[in-house]
Amino acid sequence: MPGGIYRCSDGHLFRRTVLAMLFEANLGPQRHLEKCPVDGQLRVVKRVNQDELTQAQLAEVDANSRK
């Protein structure tokens, strides 16, 4: 899916679309400021490699991305 999987500074995993990325402040390579969809707090988020995630973490991504 375009946009990729992200982890916030509090450790929550979620998926974001490219459209959502248009509304965030860029903080450098692969990091930006975004409202975490899990707890609603403004946090630094960083893109993560999907291949490095466990099945449990991928399930967390799917659950959190529906919020």
**Is the per-residue pLDDT at 29 higher than 70?**
no
Under DSSP, the state recorded for 14 is: E
Question: Do residues 48 and 5 touch, judged by C-beta distance below 8 A?
Answer: yes
How sure is the predictor about 28, in pLDDT bands with cuts at 50, 70 and 90? low
d(Cα 43, Cα 40) in Å, to the nearest integer?
Answer: 9
- C-alpha dihedral (19, 66, 44, 56), degrees to nearest 10: -130
d(Cα 67, Cα 11) in Å, to the nearest integer?
Answer: 16
How is the chain split into domains, by residue range? 5-65
**Is the per-residue pLDDT at 1 higher than 50?**
no
Mean pLDDT, residues 17-29 taken together: 60
Mean pLDDT, residues 39-48 taken together: 90
